[in-house]
A and B are shown apart, each in its own frame.
Chain A
Amino acid sequence: MSNVRATVRTVVLILAVMALATPTGVLAQAPRAGGELVLVSTEEPDTLDAQKTSTAVTGLLMRYLGDTLVAKDLAGNYTPALARSWSVSRDGLTWTFQLRTDVRFHDGTPFTAAAAKASIERALAPETKSPIAGALFGPVAEVQAAGSATLVIKLKQPFAPFLDNLTDPRAMIVSPQAVRELGDRFGRSPVGTGPFKFQEWRSADRIIFARNPDYRWGPGFVHAGPPYVDRIVVRIMPESAAQVAAFERGELSILGVPPTDVRRLQAAGKYQFFSFLRKGVGLFMEFNVTREPFSDLRVRRAFNHAIEKKSVLQIGLEGLGEIAYGPLPPSIWGYWDGIKDYAPKYDPARAKTLLAEAGWRQGAGGALEKDGRPFSFVLYTAPIDTWRRSAQIVQAQLRAFGIAMEIQTFEFGTLLSKLRAGEHQAEFMGYTYTSPDIVQLWFHSSNIGTGLTLSHHRDPKLDAMIEASRRETDQNRRLGIYREIQKYIVDQALWVPLWTNTNYIAVQPTVQGAKIHPDGFLVLNDVWLR
């Protein structure tokens, strides 16, 4: 018996010595090629044509199928991709790109300046009916191929978001020959230059991409050469509970974890977890300033003091995120950190004072009243679990002030058209975007009724600030303008910013080398399976 124990001890000792003696370089296994990575998507793409799509999932998949002229590295800085270098004229109108000459599309045709020109022109052409891709390039006057490796894009006026937009996966360069040959079928068998090439799409079931064996032109933050895994399979599963069960059973390699399962899967200790703060404000209450009672700035300010955001975050989102203070989150360039202190704090006394100044006084039974009418309003919201729970917390908090908030839920498309028409008093909204130019969409008066200025707030001063931010190409001065815009929007109390969620991605222990990109996706070039 003691013999056995001694043997065991010896073996353990030997193993420990071996571990100590082994150089770490040998311990870290070399990547192994082969295998299949199974991802999952709740939504099915409308099309895999980057220029015709309007679904978010297609944008994500194009990260693997296509390359853009410019990319962002893991620190969020611009880095060469299909363009080796680029420059912009002093007036901000002429952009010149020096292209790589060693790139081929998946159909074997070479990537040239002429191909890039044809691809961009297709995105802009009216007959493409491009929902998103066309607008990314901004006010393009002309695209020129100057030789086989120089691309020139001329703009009608300076467009500050231009470079950032070029890193959007939907701005990828598609094969002009494949577009010509496949016609309408291009969206079901897309051809790009990316690390993976299209293999198969079984409707409502799965999409399969295969390794591109010729890939050698990846951006600097991934290894040079084709990806290690043979295939990525994207399983389309609408039910999140079934996704989680499939992941736990090992049938999925990577899972975007629903908030309700984050803590449980983390506690399992089996999986690698990646997380990133959403690029956008996850939830805010927005006021329609053209309708009572929120046409009164004092009432809007009072709400900013009356709502205690920490409880909303803790209960509505199970604490999986950060409190929001202004129109921009820390994950978007242009965010001003001082907003935390600048924004109104939870202060029930101040809220009551402001409401009283606006003429709202406590009547019999505790309800707030003005001219004999009780303070009641309807909050429009979408059928999103975390929003519904947050709405209930806010409802309870406001009730303490004698304010009756009714919650009405609409399916998202319907909700948006009601908000555009201005039928609402207040609503819950959230957004995801890559640049601070989002303030143009949410606050410029030209977007009232048709776009996203759902506050219906018409303000020449704010319009002028936003227009200045779009023209300014000096990054430091742009930052300054955005700081003023953030302060001004908080001053006007158009929103009660509530929270921004952290997104969680769980990865099976067999998956090695996954990296999270600051734009919120996993880089798969370096992934291999143990």
Chain B
Amino acid sequence: MRAFLLRRLLLLVPTVLGVTLATFLMLQLTPGDPVAIMLGEFGSATEVARLRSELGLDRPVVVQYVRFLGRVVRGDLGTSIRSRRPVAEEIAERLPPTLELALAAQGLAVGVGVLAGVVAATARRPALDSAVVAVTLVGLSMPTFWSGLLLILLFSLTLGWLPITESEGLRALVLPAVTLAAPAGAVLARITRASVLEVLRQDYVRTARAKGLAERVVVYRHALRNALIPVLTVAALQFAGLVAGAVIVESVFARPGLGRLAVTAILSRDFPLAQGIVLVVAGMYVFVNAGVDVMYGLLDPRIRYR
């Protein structure tokens, strides 16, 4: 077990390194010079050249990358070109609201999605099943920037229930979380429905029914437990998608999160900041995945020896 853990953790190093290299190269290949963007359309050539050398952007790309890595190893993510603040400080400030939003959306998606899936799978009336399937189709198909605006118009402007400009507290979290959760919840509902339907056809379910157990016990105690394994795998993968999806939702609802910071960083070619954000998010993703792998290993001994 210890060897498995060690190997899994060592594998993280090249993964994270690969991610930083990919980000770095992608930003370098994108047309547009951060200094030219900073100085705007009125910046002169001499000003651009001066600022470039002051920011160290005139050095060879390899040198820039190695210097970036050297700093990261020492725990220094560098300084943002745009705001001239430490990148670590910017990220630390913006990570909590994004995590809060992603966790709320994840909870909502799992709770509502699984329940809807089970209801659809076990529905006695086909109309109920069709209704759930139709609603999930809508949830899946609506882009979040559109559904978010519709929710604002309905719940804030027309009904007046929720504020638009507030950005802290539970009331401000409701609409963004619902918007972000909708597509994820729809996917989970469909997977749960399919998975429960399949499990309900298994022999052991027939045995349980033959024993004379109540249908609710059969579904929730026996069938759902097994049906949830693929659902939870997808849910864990979705979490990273929710962090990424927060970019759009944060813009629509004007929430101060990491997603918006990333957009600003990329549009202004703020290399250090964009790299820092990618590094942190990729790091989170990689560690969550590693954590899931380790959990599988703990749960299922066969995985450890592969």
Contact = CB atoms under 8 A, between A and B. Distances in A.
Interface of A: 38, 44, 46-47, 52, 54, 126, 129, 131-132, 135, 184, 187-188, 202-206, 235-239, 241-242, 245-246, 248-249, 251-252, 411-414, 416-418, 420, 431, 433, 441, 447, 449-452
B251 A187 contact: no
A203 B86 CA distance: 14
A239 B254 contact: yes
B36 A413 contact: yes
A46 B82 contact: yes
B152 A135 contact: no
Given A451-B45, A452-B41, 10 more contacts: A46-B83, A126-B50, A131-B39, A132-B42, A135-B44, A187-B84, A203-B256, A245-B153, A245-B164, A248-B157
B47 interface: yes
Interface in B63-117: 82-85, 90, 93-94
Nearest to B39: A131
Interface residues of B, number: 51
A416 B36 contact: yes
A411 B267 CA distance: 8
B264 interface: yes
Nearest to A204: B256
Interface string B237-278: 000000000000001111111001100100111000000000
Contacts of B38: 46, 54, 131
B40 A450 contact: no
A433 B41 CA distance: 11
A509 B200 CA distance: 63
B149 A241 contact: yes
B272 to A, nearest CB: 14
A204 B153 CA distance: 22
A204 to B, nearest CB: 3
Contact of B269 (A206, A237, A413): A413
Contact of A129 (B51, B82, B94, B163): B51
Nearest to B82: A46
B156 interface: yes
Given A203-B94, A204-B261, A239-B251, A246 B164 contact: yes
A235 B168 CA distance: 13
B164 A249 contact: yes
Given A187-B83, A245-B153, A418-B31, A238 B251 contact: yes
Contacts of B55: 129
22 contacts: A46-B268, A126-B50, A131-B38, A132-B39, A184-B85, A204-B254, A204-B260, A206-B167, A239-B149, A239-B251, A239-B252, A239-B254, A245-B157, A245-B164, A248-B157, A413-B33, A414-B32, A416-B32, A416-B37, A416-B41, A431-B41, A450-B44
B233 interface: no
A475 B90 CA distance: 48
B54 A54 contact: no
B139 to A, nearest CB: 21
Q: Main SS of the interface on chain B? A: helix
A417 B31 contact: yes
Nearest to B50: A126
Contacts of B30: 414
Given A44-B264, A204-B256, A251-B163, A54 B83 contact: no
Given A203-B90, A450-B48, A237 B254 contact: yes
A417 B256 contact: no
Nearest to B81: A46
B160 interface: yes
Contacts of B84: 46-47, 52, 184, 187
Contacts of B32: 411, 413-414, 416-417
A132 B50 CA distance: 13
B165 interface: yes
A423 B279 CA distance: 34
Contacts of A411: 32, 267
Contacts of B252: 239, 242
B40 to A, nearest CB: 6
A24 B274 CA distance: 60
Contacts of A248: 157
Given A131-B38, A417-B36, A447 B257 contact: no
B171 to A, nearest CB: 13
B45 A205 contact: no
Nearest to A134: B47
A257 to B, nearest CB: 16
Given A44-B264, A450-B48, A131 B83 contact: no
Contact of B42 (A47, A414, A420, A452): A452
Contact of A413 (B160, B253, B260, B267): B267
Contacts of A46: 38, 82-84, 268
A44 B257 CA distance: 13
A171 B170 CA distance: 42
A47 B270 CA distance: 14
Contacts of B291: none
Nearest to B83: A46
Nearest to B145: A239
Nearest to B166: A251
Nearest to B90: A203
B43 interface: yes
Nearest to A433: B42
B167 A205 contact: yes
Max chain A Cβ within 10 angstroms of own Cβ: one of B39, B41, B93, B153: B41
Contacts of A206: 167
Top 3 closest A-B pairs, CB basis? A450-B45, A204-B256, A413-B32
Count chain A CB atoms within 10 A of each CB in B43, B55, B145, B253 and give the residue with the most.
B43
Contacts of A188: 85
Nearest to B31: A414
Contact of B37 (A38, A235, A239, A413): A413
A440 to B, nearest CB: 10
Contacts of A238: 251, 254, 260
